[in-house]
Amino acid sequence: MSADIDKHAREVGDRTFKVRATNLSIDLFLGLFGLLMILPLVLLVANAFKTPQEMLSWPPTVIPARPTLANIEAVLADTPLLRWIFNSFSFALMSAVAILITSTIAGYILAKFPSRAMSVIFAIILATAIVPFEVYMIPLYFQAQSLGILNSVWGLLLGYLVMSFGIFLIRQNVIHSIPDELLEAARIDGAGEIWIFIRIVVPLLRGALGALFVLAFFQAWTAFAWPLIVATTKDSYTIEVGLALFQTGFTVDLGRLSAASAIVLVPSVTLFVFLRRNFVQGVAGTGLKE
Amino acid sequence: MLKRRRLLFSLLAILPVIAIFAFVRVYPISEILRLSLHKWDILSKKKPFIGLKNFQELLGDRLFHEALFNTSIIAFGVLLITIPLSLVISALIFHRTRSRFAAFYETAVFIPHVVSLVPAAMAWKWIFDARLGPLNAFLSLFGVQPMSWLFDPVLSIICVIVLCSWQALGFAVLIYLVGFKSLPVSVYEAAKLDGASGRQSFWHLSVPMLKPITLYVSVVTLVSAFNVYAQVYVLASDAQGAPGRQVRVLVLDMLENSFRNYRVGYAASEAVVLLAIVLLLTFVQFTLLRDKRAAR
């Protein structure tokens, strides 16, 4: 009898040991994989502080032996890097605000004021959502040209004023989190429609708006093809375009390139780590698209 | 009376948004369709209607064929790497959800998806660099001869695929994680009672149940890979003044025709082809989903 219990205990012990060992190896694998994923970026940032000699050494050092700021100083002196960062930042910020405003209004109206016109509008928005930006950016370029806003932040903004997915996201959120009774009660109390929208609807959407803001900001911050054709003067480049053109030059050395990249990467990665929850929520929302 | 006032309010409120939306989305999309049927070279004022001539010319355009071929190889290459890898990685992360390091795994896998394209591509360009790159140095440890990754026509496409997959992986993992969280726990418990191993539940439960998610992630990955441009621009453009080999992709060919050769109508017809590919992929997704629902 007691031998049986012993045997059972040993089996259970074996099993928990086995489970532990499996989990440990999974952790090890995932940890290694995660490190490998960020290794290129870590090495890039490390390169920014290396001397030209150290850059060539094998194996590559992760922490520079004799860190130097020469690369960063050189790149700040040679290129209007800060100007480009400022351009990107104001473009991304304005785009995020514009998308937030247009999506909130359209999403709320489409969700709470059903009529045949609204169904048609929503169908058109969904249909155009499938079309990638690259498909229609050439005609859009000529529209920007005829408005005379090429090479300015307004030209950049033209392509990023609305976001179909944003309208969809807000509409879903309004349907799920704002009951009709609440709006009716406010109306009976004599509240105007605009007051209801600003005082009741917008505060209730705070979570979704946060996710959408982060999503829209990063979308504009990492935009490439559109800024490349719209902003063609050195003063109007975004950081992506500026860097891409900078790296095709003749005399650029790796240290400076890495320095410029690091200056761009570090703040955006930091920002992302802080806003991770918002971002994940926003992207995960895209999975509900169908 | 009240109802009419509410309708009026809703129309007035949404009107400005609709106007903007029409101007920056609906109009340019209809414009691209119209332009594709016209011959318009920026320099000339006239834009004669030429029917399907642009598309006929595309059929015989060697550069366009090259672009279409490369883009398709890249798109399906990214798909083949991203889907299996993200499925396994997300299954493992989900299995270790309660681990102290779960947040690190998620963040590390996702960061490449959000960092700016150009600096990230720059990092990879250095890794692939023939003379200075750590990849060749690493391979030489195993006696592999150094290769000029970015100058060989086949190798450079592989480089683009690696870079794009590295970026696409985080998105796929994230969506799969949402999928894993929505799967019914009871099914797994039943399987465990019946003595199924973790690997068996993965193959026979998770993979089939996640099929709609796989379909969605595949289509999103394919569509965004068909629009590949920045990665190619950085990795395989004429860098450092050297006559580097360009990997021609659809968006690059389109922009070149429009802004270097000034053939806007012709570029528009390329955009329409790109649109047709995207619509086809979306259509396939919806058909497969519907078949699946009907089969249930």
Residues of B in contact with A60 (CB under 8 A): 134, 137
Q: Does B64 touch chain A (CB under 8 A)?
A: no
Q: pLDDT, tens digit, for every residue of A29-72? A: 999 999 999 999 998 999 889 888 887 776 777 788 888 888 88
Q: Does A258 touch chain B (CB under 8 A)?
A: yes
Same-domain status, A150 and A279: yes
User: How far is the C-alpha of B151 from the C-alpha of B128, rounded, in Å?
Assistant: 10
Residues of B in contact with A31 (CB under 8 A): 101, 104-105
Tokens at residue B184, please? 């019914």
Same-domain status, A63 and A88: no
In a domain, B30, yes or no: no
In a domain, B17, yes or no: no
User: How far is the C-alpha of B175 from the C-alpha of B87, rounded, in Å?
Assistant: 10
Mutation target for B interface from A97, A131, A156, A195: give the one with most B CBs within 10 A: A131
Domain interval for residue A107: 72-286
The beta-carbon neighbor of B118 closest among A159, A244, A272 is A244
Q: Does A286 touch chain B (CB under 8 A)?
A: yes
- Residue A217: per-residue pLDDT: 92
User: How far is the C-alpha of A245 from the C-alpha of A237, rounded, in Å?
Assistant: 10
Segment B228-249 mean pLDDT: 70
Query: With an 8 Å Cβ cutoff, are A272 and B111 in contact?
Result: yes
Between the two ends of chain A, the Cα-to-Cα distance in Å is 59
Q: Which of A68, A86, A105 is the last residue of a domain?
A: A68
Domain count, chain A: 2
* Cβ proximity of B120 and A50 under 8 Å: no
Residue B244 has pLDDT above 50, yes or no: no
Residue B8 has pLDDT above 80, yes or no: yes
Q: pLDDT, tens digit, for every residue of B54-81? A: 999 999 999 999 999 999 999 999 999 9
Tokens at residue A194, please? 């605009």
Task: Determine the 3-state secondary structure of B36 from DSSP.
Answer: coil
Q: Does A262 touch chain B (CB under 8 A)?
A: yes
Same-domain status, A30 and A174: no
A47: closest chain B residue by CA: B123
| Distance set, CA A202 to CA A103, A224, B144, B285 (Å) | 11, 32, 61, 35
Segment B223-247 mean pLDDT: 73
Tell me the sheet residues that pair with B263.
Answer: B41
**What residues 180-239 of chain A have any CB closer than 8 A to a CB of chain B?**
193, 197, 218, 221-222, 224-225, 228-229, 239
Phi and psi at A136, nearest 5°, equal -110, 15
| Distance set, CA B35 to CA B28, B30, B39 (Å) | 10, 9, 8
Same-domain status, A53 and A82: no
Same-domain status, A121 and A191: yes
Residue A150 identity (one-letter amino acid): L
pTM: 0.89
Q: Which of A68, A91, A117 is the last residue of a domain?
A: A68
For tokens 């000339």, name the residue.
Answer: B44
Q: pLDDT, tens digit, for every residue of B109-143? A: 999 988 888 899 888 988 888 777 888 888 888 88
Domain interval for residue B223: 53-295
The beta-carbon neighbor of A139 closest among B31, B123, B230 is B31
Same-domain status, A148 and A254: yes
User: How far is the C-alpha of B16 from the C-alpha of B11, rounded, in Å?
Assistant: 9
Which residues of chain A carry a pLDDT beneath 70? Answer: 1-13, 58, 249-252, 283-290
Domain count, chain B: 1
Tell me the sheet residues that pair with B38.
Answer: B49
Query: With an 8 Å Cβ cutoff, are A262 and B259 in contact?
Result: no
For tokens 């990997």, name the residue.
Answer: B247
CATH at residue B265? 1.10.3720.10
The beta-carbon neighbor of B171 closest among A34, A60, A283 is A283
- Residue A147: per-residue pLDDT: 96
User: Distance from A6 to chain B by nearest Cα, in Å?
Assistant: 22
* Cβ proximity of A64 and A49 under 8 Å: yes
Residues of B in contact with A229 (CB under 8 A): 255, 259
- CB atoms closer than 10 angstroms to residue B293: 9
For tokens 């939306």, name the residue.
Answer: B21
Whether this model's ipTM surpasses 0.95 comes out as no
* B33 closest CA partner among B224, B265, B277: B265
Tokens at residue B79, please? 């798909």
R_g of chain A, CA atoms, integer Å: 26
- CB atoms closer than 10 angstroms to residue B22: 15
Same-domain status, A120 and A263: yes
Residue B296 identity (one-letter amino acid): R
Tokens at residue B156, please? 């450079």
Same-domain status, A151 and A170: yes
Residue burial B99-114, b: 16+ Cβ < 10 Å; e: rest? beebeebbbbbbbbbb
Give the containing element (helix H, strand E) for B267: helix B264-295
CATH at residue A241? 1.10.3720.10
- Residue A289: per-residue pLDDT: 42
Q: pLDDT, tens digit, for every residue of B151-160? A: 888 888 999 9
Q: Which of A51, A68, A85 is the last residue of a domain?
A: A68
Same-domain status, A40 and A125: no
